[in-house]
Chains A and B, each alone.
Chain A
Amino acid sequence: MKEISQLNLPQNVRFTEDHEWARKEDGAIRVGIDDYAQDQLGDVVFVELPQVGDTFAKGDAFGSVESVKAVSELFMPLGGEISAINKNLEESPELVNTNPYEGGWMIDVKPDDPGEFDALMTNDAYLEMLKGL
């Protein structure tokens, strides 16, 4: 397990309490799990994603990510409609471990309320939260 100082927590994304990240990407919000989450989970073997067109509210479970011995649910950082899913994860779930912020992205969301994105934690706030855990 990595130490907090070893974690990769980029400046250009926002974070949630559930260790997910969100980033504006071509008019949608792109979501994935962060370096802390993938490190805790270990080797990812399967990612269960919703279908394009599904809609969720902020906080709803939209899918799950599995290692050999554990399952973690994934929660919407904001409400909206799924506009895209990362199909590469079906063949290569390990992208979540090797490249959580780029190749390992999970869903794109068309947000209902842009304010929900702005309310997410910045890099600094998230770091503080981790230190308190």
Chain B
Amino acid sequence: MRYLPHTPEDVADMLAQVGVESLDALFATIPKDCCCRLDMKLPRALTEWELDDHMDALASRTAVSPDFKVYMGAGSYDHYVPAAARHVLARSEFVTSYTPYQPEISQGTLQAIYEYQTLASRLMGTEVATASHYDGSTALAEALLMAIRVTRKKRVAVSAAVHPHHRRVVETYFDPTGYEIVELPYLTDGRTDLAPLDSLEDLAAVAVQSPNFFGCIEDLQAAADATHAEEAVFVASFTEPLAFGLLKNPGSLGADIVCGEGQSLGLPRSFGGPGLGMLGSRMKFVRSLPGRLVGRTQDTDGRDGFVLTLATREQHIRREKATSNICTNNSLCALTAAVYMAALGATGFRELAGLNHDKAEYLKNSLAQAGFDAPFSSPTFNEFVIRFPGDFDTLYGRLLENRIVAGLPLAKYYPELSDCTLLCATETAGKSDLDNLVKEVRS
């Protein structure tokens, strides 16, 4: 087997030097009643070529472009990734290295993550950003726990227009803690209703996503003001960071903590993971931040270099009092995002954001002209909700048969929107495809 280099001679020589008779004898310290795995019933080993065939066959059983047109976002977005980005990310010095605990031979990763932290801070409008979390949902859970630590209060308010899966993850994290989650409803225009905040007491944090799950752009400044009036921490989350190429970033609108999903920044959707949990905050909260941080410093010769820092927040030092239990993060995904942001540059990022906005607007307007009603009036970014008149399931099913996934049906998440779907159109959706979608929907 090509990953197991030992020849029989190697094994015999080494066993002799260790002083045991056989490979089995190496396990003599294991009591007999623990050693009982005989056959593991697994498929026999495949050759590289059999594996290729097997995986090609499996992969072909999943609906992807160009065969299928998938107009879904809902936290996972289709964006083009430049070949140059893919190329540098395949460098095995990045891929096969470990966490940079020995900084002298890890300056590649360390500078790259410092750059990621910088670009992420600029994107989110925060004073500091961490080196990554698992995904947007766990980043949100961590952000809320951080706000609870910082304020020492036990109640949070979360908008119902935050991604339903993100809210469920927060519930899972909160379940054993006794902390309370209050839901803020959404208004008829698709944005969060902030009015309930007036009568809530002892709030640690308020979380609003923008663009929200419906694609609607929230009034983050108003949310920040209302939150600060309650002496709580304002957490702004996102699932589509490309939006900030066009929209004002959350930090500039009063967010104390910003968190979200960075998958759009050059990562394949990959059936939902690995993605990229992004998290940033005001500098005054830095010692409460969960996750790794890379800092700049000098070496003994005065040269600039980078190290992991503020490690006393983390589990390997603070153990049960750590700001989080996170150890392995999504470092290579953060690197991917940095490469993508660098490839686009300020100019490209702005242009691409504009194009995304316009693609979805074109689809929305075309559907409106065809008589399909968008229930929410707020401006949106690259996703929006559309109502299908008549029998929703039949129409959706017919489109599927024509190899069109017409968005994400909302019935499962919002029963009051059971005749609606969440449609997404990014720069990857050509005008002719969008025209075809409208045509199919009308007929």
Contact = CB atoms under 8 A, between A and B. Distances in A.
A69 B312 CA distance: 6
Contact of A46 (B312, B317, B318): B312
B287 A69 contact: no
A48 B288 CA distance: 12
A70 interface: yes
A45 to B, nearest CB: 8
| Chain A interface, >50% SS class | loop
Interface in B306-327: 311-312, 317-318, 321
Interface of B: 287, 311-312, 317-318, 321
Contacts of B318: 71
Contacts of B287: 46, 48
Nearest to A71: B312
A68 interface: yes
Nearest to A66: B312
6 contacts: A45-B312, A68-B311, A69-B312, A70-B317, A71-B312, A71-B321
Interface in A55-79: 66-71
Choose among B287, B312, B317, B321 the residue with the greatest number of A CB atoms under 10 Å from its CB: B312
Nearest to B287: A46
Contacts, number: 17
Contacts of A46: 287, 312
Interface residues of A, number: 9
Give the 4 A-B residue pairs with the shortest CB-CB distance, closest first: A66-B312, A71-B312, A71-B318, A71-B317
Nearest to B309: A68
Contacts of A70: 312, 317
B174 to A, nearest CB: 26
Interface in A26-51: 45-46, 48
Interface in A70-120: 70-71
A70 B287 CA distance: 14
Contacts of B321: 71
A68 B311 CA distance: 7
Contacts of A67: 312
Contacts of B317: 69-71
Nearest to B319: A71
A70 B321 CA distance: 13
Choose among B287, B317, B321 the residue with the greatest number of A CB atoms under 10 Å from its CB: B317
A109 B121 CA distance: 41
A48 B321 CA distance: 14
A46 to B, nearest CB: 7
B311 to A, nearest CB: 7
A45 B318 CA distance: 15
A45 B317 CA distance: 14
B287 to A, nearest CB: 7
B289 to A, nearest CB: 14
A68 B312 CA distance: 7
A66 B312 CA distance: 7
Contacts of A45: 312
A46 B286 CA distance: 13
Contacts of A48: 287
Contacts of B312: 45-46, 66-71
Contacts of A68: 311-312
A69 B316 CA distance: 9
A66 B309 CA distance: 12
Given A48-B287, A69-B311, 4 more contacts: A69-B317, A70-B312, A70-B317, A71-B317
B45 to A, nearest CB: 44
A56 to B, nearest CB: 16
A106 B62 CA distance: 63
A71 B287 CA distance: 13
A56 B311 CA distance: 28
A96 B417 CA distance: 61
A65 to B, nearest CB: 10
B317 to A, nearest CB: 6
Nearest to A70: B317
Contacts of A69: 311-312, 317
Nearest to B321: A71
